[in-house]
Amino acid sequence: MTEPSTQAPELVVERRINALPTTVFSFFTDADRWMSWQGEDAEIDPRPGGVLRMNVREGNVAAGQFVTVEPYHRIVFTWGWETPGNPLPPGGSTVDITLRPDGAGTLLTLTHRGLPLELFQSHGIGWNHYMDRLLTRAEGGDPGPDEGPE
Protein backbone atom coordinates (compact mmCIF):
# COMPACT_ATOMS: atom_id res chain seq x y z
CA MET A 1 0.00 0.00 0.00
CA THR A 2 1.30 3.45 -0.90
CA GLU A 3 1.66 6.02 1.87
CA PRO A 4 -0.07 9.35 1.20
CA SER A 5 2.37 12.13 0.36
CA THR A 6 3.01 14.76 3.00
CA GLN A 7 4.85 16.95 0.51
CA ALA A 8 2.98 19.62 -1.42
CA PRO A 9 3.22 20.09 -5.17
CA GLU A 10 5.51 22.83 -6.43
CA LEU A 11 4.35 26.31 -5.56
CA VAL A 12 4.77 28.65 -8.55
CA VAL A 13 4.29 32.43 -8.47
CA GLU A 14 4.87 34.63 -11.53
CA ARG A 15 5.02 38.37 -11.98
CA ARG A 16 5.84 40.63 -14.90
CA ILE A 17 7.83 43.53 -13.51
CA ASN A 18 8.43 46.79 -15.38
CA ALA A 19 12.14 46.82 -14.52
CA LEU A 20 15.19 45.25 -16.13
CA PRO A 21 16.51 41.90 -14.84
CA THR A 22 19.60 43.69 -13.47
CA THR A 23 17.34 45.78 -11.24
CA VAL A 24 15.12 42.89 -10.13
CA PHE A 25 18.18 40.71 -9.42
CA SER A 26 19.57 43.36 -7.06
CA PHE A 27 16.48 43.00 -4.84
CA PHE A 28 17.65 39.44 -4.05
CA THR A 29 21.36 40.11 -3.63
CA ASP A 30 21.51 43.30 -1.53
CA ALA A 31 20.20 43.07 2.04
CA ASP A 32 18.91 46.66 2.18
CA ARG A 33 17.09 46.29 -1.14
CA TRP A 34 15.65 42.91 -0.09
CA MET A 35 14.36 44.38 3.18
CA SER A 36 12.64 47.16 1.23
CA TRP A 37 10.02 44.58 0.20
CA GLN A 38 10.44 41.68 2.70
CA GLY A 39 11.88 41.39 6.15
CA GLU A 40 12.73 43.52 9.16
CA ASP A 41 16.41 42.58 9.25
CA ALA A 42 18.51 40.20 7.20
CA GLU A 43 21.89 38.59 6.74
CA ILE A 44 22.45 37.84 3.07
CA ASP A 45 25.62 36.47 1.44
CA PRO A 46 24.55 35.87 -2.17
CA ARG A 47 27.04 33.24 -3.31
CA PRO A 48 26.79 29.44 -3.37
CA GLY A 49 26.97 28.29 0.25
CA GLY A 50 26.34 31.84 1.52
CA VAL A 51 23.89 32.46 4.33
CA LEU A 52 20.32 33.68 3.96
CA ARG A 53 18.72 34.56 7.30
CA MET A 54 15.94 37.05 7.77
CA ASN A 55 13.42 38.15 10.35
CA VAL A 56 10.49 38.20 7.94
CA ARG A 57 7.97 39.66 10.40
CA GLU A 58 7.49 39.75 14.15
CA GLY A 59 10.28 37.32 15.01
CA ASN A 60 9.46 34.77 12.31
CA VAL A 61 12.99 34.00 11.12
CA ALA A 62 13.55 32.25 7.80
CA ALA A 63 16.92 30.62 7.23
CA GLY A 64 18.76 28.76 4.52
CA GLN A 65 21.63 29.23 2.15
CA PHE A 66 22.21 30.24 -1.41
CA VAL A 67 22.71 27.33 -3.80
CA THR A 68 22.93 29.01 -7.21
CA VAL A 69 23.52 32.66 -8.08
CA GLU A 70 23.61 33.39 -11.82
CA PRO A 71 23.72 37.18 -12.19
CA TYR A 72 20.58 38.69 -13.66
CA HIS A 73 19.10 35.28 -14.52
CA ARG A 74 18.64 32.84 -11.63
CA ILE A 75 18.85 32.60 -7.85
CA VAL A 76 18.28 29.39 -5.88
CA PHE A 77 18.28 29.21 -2.09
CA THR A 78 17.13 26.83 0.60
CA TRP A 79 14.38 28.01 2.94
CA GLY A 80 12.89 27.07 6.27
CA TRP A 81 11.92 28.49 9.65
CA GLU A 82 13.84 28.70 12.92
CA THR A 83 10.62 28.49 14.96
CA PRO A 84 10.82 25.41 17.22
CA GLY A 85 8.40 22.73 16.08
CA ASN A 86 7.85 24.22 12.62
CA PRO A 87 7.45 21.37 10.11
CA LEU A 88 9.84 23.19 7.74
CA PRO A 89 13.24 23.54 9.45
CA PRO A 90 15.95 25.91 8.17
CA GLY A 91 17.07 24.80 4.72
CA GLY A 92 14.22 22.28 4.48
CA SER A 93 12.88 23.43 1.10
CA THR A 94 14.20 25.13 -2.04
CA VAL A 95 13.18 28.40 -3.70
CA ASP A 96 14.20 28.80 -7.36
CA ILE A 97 13.80 32.26 -8.91
CA THR A 98 14.28 32.81 -12.62
CA LEU A 99 14.37 36.19 -14.33
CA ARG A 100 13.69 36.42 -18.07
CA PRO A 101 13.87 39.63 -20.09
CA ASP A 102 10.45 40.61 -21.42
CA GLY A 103 10.68 43.75 -23.54
CA ALA A 104 11.67 46.55 -21.17
CA GLY A 105 10.68 44.41 -18.20
CA THR A 106 11.29 41.08 -16.50
CA LEU A 107 9.23 37.94 -16.15
CA LEU A 108 9.94 36.58 -12.67
CA THR A 109 9.05 32.98 -11.85
CA LEU A 110 9.38 31.79 -8.26
CA THR A 111 9.15 28.02 -7.74
CA HIS A 112 9.11 26.73 -4.15
CA ARG A 113 9.80 22.99 -3.85
CA GLY A 114 9.76 20.65 -0.87
CA LEU A 115 7.08 22.36 1.20
CA PRO A 116 5.20 20.21 3.69
CA LEU A 117 1.58 19.89 2.60
CA GLU A 118 0.30 21.77 5.67
CA LEU A 119 2.40 24.85 4.75
CA PHE A 120 1.55 25.00 1.03
CA GLN A 121 -1.41 27.37 1.34
CA SER A 122 0.24 29.76 3.81
CA HIS A 123 3.42 29.95 1.71
CA GLY A 124 1.34 30.56 -1.42
CA ILE A 125 -0.41 33.47 0.29
CA GLY A 126 2.91 34.75 1.64
CA TRP A 127 4.87 34.54 -1.61
CA ASN A 128 2.06 36.24 -3.56
CA HIS A 129 2.02 39.03 -0.95
CA TYR A 130 5.79 39.49 -1.12
CA MET A 131 6.00 39.26 -4.92
CA ASP A 132 3.42 42.07 -5.11
CA ARG A 133 5.57 44.13 -2.73
CA LEU A 134 8.69 43.36 -4.78
CA LEU A 135 6.92 44.40 -7.99
CA THR A 136 5.92 47.73 -6.45
CA ARG A 137 9.42 48.36 -5.11
CA ALA A 138 11.29 47.28 -8.28
CA GLU A 139 9.06 49.55 -10.37
CA GLY A 140 10.08 52.50 -8.18
CA GLY A 141 7.12 52.58 -5.82
CA ASP A 142 6.87 52.31 -2.06
CA PRO A 143 4.98 49.22 -0.86
CA GLY A 144 4.54 50.84 2.57
CA PRO A 145 4.85 49.11 5.93
CA ASP A 146 4.55 45.34 5.76
CA GLU A 147 1.34 44.43 7.53
CA GLY A 148 1.68 40.84 6.32
CA PRO A 149 -0.59 38.93 3.96
CA GLU A 150 -4.31 39.46 4.39
Q: What 3-state class would DSSP assign to 143?
A: coil
Q: Is residue 117 part of a domain?
A: yes
Per-residue pLDDT at 2 = 53
Rounded average pLDDT over 121-143: 97
The CATH number for 64's domain is: 3.30.530.20
Q: Is residue 149 part of a domain?
A: no
- Show the domain range for 107: 11-138
Residue 4 confidence class, pLDDT cut points 50, 70, 90: low
Rounded average pLDDT over 113-142: 97
pLDDT digits (tens, 9 = 90+) for 7-50: 778 999 999 999 999 999 999 999 999 999 999 999 999 999 99
Number of domains in the chain: 1
Q: Is residue 105 part of a domain?
A: yes
Phi, psi of 108 (to 5 degrees): -100, 130
Query: How many C-beta atoms surround the C-beta of residue 72 within 10 A?
Result: 16
